[in-house]
Structure 1
Amino acid sequence: MLFLPRPPGPSTFTVRVESAPLPRPGSSRSRRPDALGTAHQWTANDPTALAERAARDLRMLLPRLTGGR
């Protein structure tokens, strides 16, 4: 067997944001096993572009948490 170094390839970076189960009206959080949550995921080869894209999208998705800027 001949083992050669793996050729360098592009790195892929990932950002993933998940929420807890969404609460029902009048409760602080859901304890139901069938409660819904949400997840958002971004991938890119450039970590700087990835961070900018994820930050922009999160500001649009969650304006109250980010100050709406």
Structure 2
Amino acid sequence: MTTDRKTPGDRTFAKKASARTDQVKGAVKETVGRAVGNERMTTEGRAERAKGDLRQAGQKAKDAFKR
């Protein structure tokens, strides 16, 4: 039997996945920017990856305090 209700764990997983997605997108954008010589894309990729890193660190800190 399954329910459609969301639990707090589901939201946490979604936030962690979203942070990881930002990290991966940023890394790809940074790599492509370097490959084509586009400094703006490289910088945007670094910023996006850093945003994902911060979000992931925040989620890990929340998890540490929940235990």
Coarse TM-score class (shorter-chain normalised): 0.3 to 0.5
The higher relative CO (CA closer than 8 Å, separation ≥ 6) is in: 2
| Structure with max Cα Rg | 1
Higher strand share: 1
